[in-house]
Structures are given as C-alpha cells and as structure tokens.
Chain A
Amino acid sequence: GAVVSQHPSWVICKSGTSVKIECRSLDFQATTMFWYRQFPKQSLMLMATSNEGSKATYEQGVEKDKFLINHASLTLSTLTVTSAHPEDSSFYICSARSRALNQPQHFGDGTRLSIL
C-alpha cells in the first residue's frame, strides 16, 4: 500500500520550455502533497506544500511563478517548471500524505530534469 507514482522519470528539454511533472497517489487519498528538490550529494529540500483544493505554500526562496503547483484532486498534484533554464536542472521528488494522523510521507521515484 501507499504507492506514489511520479511521471515522467526523466526529461531533457531546451531552455525556455515549460515542463510539467505529475505526482499521483495510487491507493490512498492524499490530502497533502509535497514537492522537493535534490541537488547531487545534498539533502532533499522542500519547495512547497500543497493541500487539495487550495493554493500551495512555498518555502522561502522558491519562486511561485516559476514553479507552479496544482493539487486539483485527492490523488493528483502537478509541478510545472515554467520557462526552464539550465539552473533548474535537478532531481525533483514529490511525496504524499494521507488523512490519517501520524502517517509518514510516501515518496514518488523522482524526476530527473535536464535543461539544455
């Protein structure tokens, strides 16, 4: 149980392109989803928290117009990197948490984004 699917797993695109990443909870309802970014040999850094049906809460230093997050249903959240540039190249990981108290976040397998 508690499977989170993230798609695509790897994307390469040209500078200036917008890229959408999907995160789905397959077997539970995710009231809250989280988006992280991980640079090589570094920790997972939280970018934003999204609750179903409401606007995402962004961490300090994360541009909300650059990283658009939509959490339209209890099983789907999307992250769109708008007008991506090489410095946006990174490993992006989503996680989801169910309504139940004291349940941990369950993570997707991440998306490797490379901007040329």
Chain B
Amino acid sequence: DQQVKQNSPSLSVQEGRISILNCDYTNSMFDYFLWYKKYPAEGPTFLISISSIKDKNEDGRFTVFLNKSAKHLSLHIVPSQPGDSAVYFCAASVGSGTYKYIFGTGTRLKVLA
C-alpha cells in the first residue's frame, strides 16, 4: 500500500519557466512533509519542508504548498534552471517524535536549456 504517491514519473520544463511537482498521500495522520532532490549515485538532499499547521512555505526559488483536505502537496520551482534537473522525492511523517519518513516514488525533472 503506497501511502505517498507521485503519479508523474517524469516532467520536462523549459529553462526559466515554472516546474510543478505533485505528491498525494493517503494517511491523514501525516503532519510533516518534505521534498528531497536526488542526483544519480548520490543520496537525497533536503530542499524544503512544511508542517500541517501551514499551507505554504517558501525558500528562495522553492515553494511548497499543502492542501490537507485534498491530501495533496506540490513543489513549485521558479524560475527553473538546468541544474534543477534531478529526481525529486516527497516524503511524509507521522507525529513530531518519530521522524520516520515514508517516501514517494519520485519524479524525474528535466529542465531544458
């Protein structure tokens, strides 16, 4: 049972445009969400997070939106740059003390120059 889903395995975006990566979850107990970026043969790098008490968090070019009623979160990258090309994973956790993350299957973003 995949509790965290990223339904788009890949996405191509022109440089300078907005990239929107989506993530859906099924467990209403999740209260902390994160986005990680991963290059081949490397570990994931933390990008941005959001707790369930917020619906938006912004850090530079990256913004995460959370829609709790729809159990949906999205990552916006504006403007997209070729260096953003990587696999993006969303992750979710339950409770403030466990920090056990459930990861989605990832979306491969390709930013075209």
Interface residues of A in 14-49 (CB under 8 A from B): 32, 34, 41-46, 49
Contact B89 A43 (CB under 8 A): yes
Is A105 close to B, CB under 8 A?
yes
Contact of B43 among A45, A97, A101, A107 (CB under 8 A): A107
Contact of A42 among B49, B51, B105 (CB under 8 A): B105
Interface SS majority for chain A: strand
A34 to B45, CA, bound (A): 15
Count B interface residues, CB 8 Å.
22
Q: Closest CB of chain A to B94's CB: distance in Å?
A: 13
Interface residues of B in 7-51 (CB under 8 A from A): 32, 34, 36, 41-46, 49, 51
A40 to B34, CA, bound (A): 22
Contact B45 A104 (CB under 8 A): no
Question: Size band of the A side of the interface?
Answer: 20 to 34
Q: Mark B72-113, 1 if CB is under 8 A from A, else 0.
A: 000000000000000001000000100111111110000000
Which residue of B is nearest A57, CB measured?
B100
Which residue of A is nearest B102, CB measured?
A46
Interface residues of A in 72-116 (CB under 8 A from B): 93, 95, 97, 101-102, 104-110, 112
* Contacts from B to A (Cβ < 8 Å): 4, 32, 34, 36, 41-46, 49, 51, 89, 96, 99-106
